[in-house]
Each structure stands twice: as C-alpha cells, then as structure tokens.
Homo-oligomer: A and B are copies of this chain.
Amino acid sequence: MLPFSSTKPSTSFFHFPPFLPSFFHSVSLPLLLNPPKSSHLRFLPLPLRIRSIDAAQPYDYESQLLSQHLKSQSLKIAIIGFGNFAQFLAKTLSRQGHTLLAYSRTNHGGAAKELGVTFYTNPHDLCESHPEVLILCTSILSSEKVLKSFPFQRLKRSTLFVDVLSVKEFAKNILLKYLPLEFDILCTHPMFGPESGKNSWVGLPFVYDKVRIGNEEERINRCDKFLDIFAKEGCRMVEMSCAEHDRYAAGSQFVTHTMGRVLEKFGLESSPINTKGYETLLDLVENTAGDSFELYYGLFMYNQNAMEQLERLDMAFEAIKKELFGKLHQVYRRQLFGTVEGSEERPKIQKLLHNGAPLEPSKDTMEQERS
C-alpha cells in the first residue's frame, strides 16, 4: 500500500511529497516504490520524462514505455569461460538487466545460477541460442586453443565478438585469424578486477579498440550499447589502438605486477613501525597477490614490449646496487687512506668489498637533511 493517501489507480495524477527530490517527480510513483531490480531507472533518457498523465487513463502507459526502453537497451550476451573474472563481470551485466549465457569447460553451473546466467555445458547449444554479443573470458594462454575449435558456424553471421584479455595486439591478431569475416570485433581491456573493482568501477580505465565494426547502423548501435555498460558504471573510457595499449601496459601494468610479485616473494610483512611508503608497498602486494601466475606470465609472454621493460627494471636495480657499492667503496678507501674513523661498521665494509678503485672523497656535509 502507498504510505500516503491515494485512492486513485497507480497512474493517477497527484502531487509528489516534498521530501522526494525533483528528479523523481517525472517518474511514476509505482516505479518509485517498486523499482525494477536493474538500476536502469537512473539512465532514463530525457525524452521519456512523463510530466503529467490523464487521471482516467486505464492503460499503464509509463510501465510499458519503461520496459520497452529497458528491453531496447539490454543485450543477449554469451560469456565463453566462466572463471573469476567472468563471474565478476557477469555480476554487473546481470544487474544492468542483460540476458546472459555462459559456457566453460569446467561446470560453473552453480555460480552461473546465482548470477542469473544460463549455463551451457555444450558450446553448440550456446551458439544455437544466437547471442548478439560473445565475450571471450578465458585466460590469455588458452584463448587461441578455444578459438580454434569454437563452433562459430552456429552463430548468426552478425555477431559482435569482444575479448577482455590483458594483452591486446595478440588478442586482435588471433581474433582476426580465427573469426568468420562477418563478425564484428571489439578488443577491450577493463583495467581492473575483482579486487580493485570490488566496490565501484568509477574512474577505473576501460580501454577499447573498435577493430572491425560493420557500417550498418544496427552493428554500430550494438557496439555502442556494449561500451555503454562500462560507461554507465563510471569507467574512464579510453579508446586506443591495441599496439598503443600494449606499449603503455608493459610499462605500467606489467611492471606493477612484477614489483608486486617480487615483494610477495621477498615476504613483505607488516611491522610495528610501517612508514607511509611501506604501506603503499603492502597495498601493492595485496592488490597483485590475488592474481594467478598464469595472468602474470600472460602479461609477460603475450606483450612484445614486456621483455624490454623487464630488462629496464633489471638494469635499474643493478644501477642502484652499483651506486650503493660504489659509495661503500669510496668510504672504505677513505677510511684506509684518509683519517681512520672509529665505527663498528668497518668489518662489514671489508666483507663486502672485492676489488680496488681510485679514491674519491665523498661530500658529507653536516647541513644535509637528517638521514
């Protein structure tokens, strides 16, 4: 029942209570009180704003309009591979009201059911359901194998194929190689996951490259509708070529994962005297530790820029060690040949030095910042 007096049918004309923000005044009350499960209400385009309705009208015009609108925005999406990341994506797709199908070799029927996803154990059955969009959600390493044996011929000739792999040139190449020519191809990289996108996707980068989208309006709209899924969630939409993505990602995402893995292997632990900087490192390990080695290896192996970045990181680490040891050497030489200063550090220096080098006095000014 309505919390305030109204004996008219739900579409009747009446005043909204003052505590509702003005935005709601253009939406029918029944919808406000019983909003649909999906959150589409907030994305109602302006032309749908209904400002007044004839009190006598017996037909629920508004609800019809809204459901038509929601239907026009929803897509029939099939997900191939239904691991962690796929399930993470499905949660949002499902909330947005899309029709979801999934197939994977392992039976993830239970997880799928919870998310309102129809699960198929046979890819032929999935394809015969004629989804409008297919998302390839397998690991980088298995993607090519999956594509090689997938029954594309059972899909409609107009299908949008999307991948979400973390490397893009490789993904683009195998999609162009294995997909039927009639298919649209959208390469994407949602640069977040179950950990970093746990609470919200607002501001998180979503990279995409419209590799092959047909000229027909329907195909263009379908691609835009798909991208809109992420835009609606507040992602930072970044359109960039697959090659450009890989260059940036090797210098950032791969390096981040490498640092996270090195520090995890190092065995970083919280201490009673964590500095602010140290806490950023602990966060980093937590952020990357959840990801599989397969993912990390994929970032390395299937991005042609990764090796160069690994080498650069290696060189940077070596350079820092050289600076430390070089300085150590100077100080020791000065102790040997300059003034001999008493300190309990000398045995350690002796242990660490292996060869001789010319004496260079180091500046140690006492005005320097406390160190």
Contact = CB atoms under 8 A, between A and B. Distances in A.
A78 to B, nearest CB: 14
B274 A312 contact: no
A227 to B, nearest CB: 16
B280 A251 contact: no
A44 interface: no
A138 B366 contact: yes
Interface in A259-280: 259-263, 265-269, 271-278, 280
B321 A275 contact: no
Interface residues of A, number: 117
A132 interface: no
Among A81, A276, A288, A302, max chain B CB count under 10 A is at: A276
Q: How many copies does the complex hold?
A: 2
Interface string A176-217: 010000000000010111001000000011010000000000
Contacts of A92: none
A84 B369 contact: yes
Contacts of A230: none
Contacts of A283: 280
Interface in A286-339: 287-288, 291-302, 304, 307, 310, 312-314, 316-317, 319-321, 323-324, 327-328, 331
Contacts of A352: 307
Classify the secondary structure of A's interface with B: helix
Contacts of A22: none
A108 B368 CA distance: 12
Interface stretch (A5-13, A24-32, A46-54, A139-147): A139-147
Interface of A: 80-86, 104-106, 108, 137-146, 164-166, 170, 173-174, 177, 189, 191-193, 196, 204-205, 207, 238, 240, 245, 248-249, 251-253, 255-263, 265-269, 271-278, 280-281, 283-284, 287-288, 291-302, 304, 307, 310, 312-314, 316-317, 319-321, 323-324, 327-328, 331, 341-345, 348-349, 352, 362, 364-371
